[in-house]
A and B are shown apart, each in its own frame.
Chain A
């Protein structure tokens, strides 16, 4: 009798479904929502490591608005994100179109393209650190051997070079995501559309512009948004390569926040910096979901 009742309760609409989602909800609450809310709270306090702070209102934010390094960081973050995502998109799309063609060994090539994505970023970035070393860089060595240059390039020592270098590494690491994602999208496009276009007299460029791109657009916008989010909130690549230097030229929100909060101990200020990541990402997601709704 008792067990009969409990079955009835479980079978009530929504109850069982809710119970099934509880573990996942709990993990999300514990590991995402709690730190997020805690971060927001900390940004309104003057907490430093080892001492509970007190509520200071918007003081941390006002201080940041008067800090040159903060504005430089904001500028760097935008340059880093726009530069890297733009080239990842162009090169990733190009590579996807190439790999979508029929040729010998395309399976192997597709696997190779995935490598930068599979190798842990910390590991591959260390390799790039060596490639961009001021004394032992293999690129500098090659150019000097070829007689093109007489002194090694100061990749990570000058502000402009350092920015370009970290962007290049980010592009290298991020291309596979675009390529594999877009390749999957390309394969869903019915090939008879291209044949119909052949008969209609379309050139390869017109086929790309009038068929491939419009049909790839929904996927392209989702992939681009994801990439913007990840690039904007990047941390480990830059921390390993430059720690935000030289002269704060490669600091982005993630690294700057870490430096202030953990390395510098100012948890409140660090939390305030990282809070700036959130609205930008929120807008990104909003724009994409709006666009996708319209497409449907």
Chain B
């Protein structure tokens, strides 16, 4: 139960700015995810909250207490590292008990907490083993257990699932989320995997080049990305971007390029009006391109199929529309074939428009 407050937090390594003017409040019991490409400053920010990295400017407060100069052990946090950082020469039990022993917790209490936590995580049978005798998933649990026994105010996760295989990652994702529901402790989770961010976060902070691009609930960010970077980073497969021209047609506007012309929905009319006669970037998510058997008139794209990639629940289709390459995700029942023509109907309400210079969303 704690609120974490970051105000104008900055970090420089020599002349390199790693984190720049980071402002964010992480609420009580919230599961906050920092997501972004490598080098975006997400891990550095987490390490500053942990106290493993000194901050160059700004303030960090945990539960109302300024902790800029408080050593990690006194911040009442627990951290799960990407490589687990289990002490290799200690048993699972010793690994979990180490921090409590240093805190001078009574032996009986240590024993109780370690066993309770181990039971909760299903590693009770492994307490006498050493880390090298464990599988990746088991090590992950031990690392979690070591954090949980401390009963911290804030959990910090640094890409904890990135060393697991794909199947185990999905399973642990779910378990972590359940665990958070059960314990309800403020958690900050760093990942470069947007699916992990979307599925786990109560809120997500998307970062790039040391700056927060957008903070919000997962679906809010997915539906209303604030700029081109967020639009491309969140969502899989990645959004298609096309350079298009805005033209006025009757009362409304169309965006046009060689081979297609799409009407701009009524509610975007005002925002797009200043761009009349100019270029904008059109963003179309692959899942918003549905296959249309018959020509539905305005807004249907005539596409030439180049590559078909079935992934099971969907088929990814690489198509050429005019001079543009697009990716569409169509249902598995689709009979689409390579080198054939197909009709694609974009969901007009879900299209995104971006300013070509600032790359900000036009809305």
Contact = CB atoms under 8 A, between A and B. Distances in A.
Interface of A: 190, 192-193, 195-202, 206, 210-211, 214-215
Contact of A202 (B51, B52, B83, B102): B102
Interface of B: 50-52, 71-73, 77-79, 81, 83, 85, 87-89, 98-99, 102-103, 146
A196 B85 contact: yes
A201 B77 contact: no
B87 A199 contact: no
A199 B98 contact: no
Contacts of A198: 51-52, 71-73
A198 B98 CA distance: 11
Given A210-B98, A215-B89, A201 B81 contact: no
B72 A215 contact: no
A199 B89 contact: no
Contacts of A200: 73, 98-99, 102
A193 B143 CA distance: 12
Nearest to A199: B72
A196 B79 contact: yes
Given A199-B72, A202-B73, 7 more contacts: A190-B83, A192-B81, A193-B85, A199-B99, A200-B98, A201-B103, A215-B88
A202 B81 CA distance: 17
Contacts, number: 51
Given A200-B73, A201-B73, A195 B85 contact: yes
23 contacts: A190-B83, A192-B83, A193-B87, A195-B50, A195-B52, A195-B79, A195-B81, A196-B81, A196-B146, A197-B98, A198-B71, A198-B73, A199-B51, A199-B73, A199-B77, A199-B79, A199-B99, A201-B99, A201-B102, A202-B73, A202-B98, A206-B102, A210-B98
Contacts of B73: 198-202
A190 B85 contact: yes
A39 to B, nearest CB: 42
Nearest to A196: B85
Nearest to B156: A199
A16 to B, nearest CB: 36
B77 A211 contact: no
B102 A199 contact: no
A46 to B, nearest CB: 55
Pick the 9 closest A-B CB pairs, nearest first: A201-B73, A200-B99, A192-B85, A196-B85, A214-B89, A201-B102, A199-B72, A198-B72, A192-B81
Contacts of B87: 193, 196, 210-211
Nearest to A189: B88
Contacts of A190: 83, 85
A198 B50 CA distance: 10
A256 B34 CA distance: 71
Contacts of A214: 89
A186 to B, nearest CB: 15
A199 B72 CA distance: 5
A185 B81 CA distance: 22
A195 B102 CA distance: 15
A210 B81 CA distance: 19
A200 B101 CA distance: 9
A190 B131 CA distance: 14
Contacts of A206: 102
Contacts of B85: 190, 192-193, 195-196
Nearest to A198: B72
Contacts of A211: 87
Contacts of A210: 87, 98
Contacts of A199: 50-52, 72-73, 77-79, 99
Contacts of B72: 195, 198-199
A192 B81 CA distance: 8
B313 to A, nearest CB: 37
A192 B99 CA distance: 15
Nearest to B101: A200
Interface centre among A193, A195, A202, by most chain B C-beta atoms within 10 angstroms, is A195
Nearest to A211: B87
A196 B81 CA distance: 8
B158 to A, nearest CB: 9
Nearest to B80: A196
Which of B50, B51, B78, B79: most chain A CB closer than 10 A?
Answer: B79
Nearest to A195: B52
A211 B99 CA distance: 13
A200 B143 CA distance: 12
Best-surrounded residue of A195, A199, A200 (most CB of chain B within 10 A): A199
Contacts of A192: 81, 83, 85
Contacts of B99: 199-201
A248 B77 CA distance: 64
A191 to B, nearest CB: 9
Nearest to A214: B89
A197 B146 CA distance: 11
Contacts of A195: 50, 52, 72, 79, 81, 85
B110 to A, nearest CB: 13
A199 B85 CA distance: 12
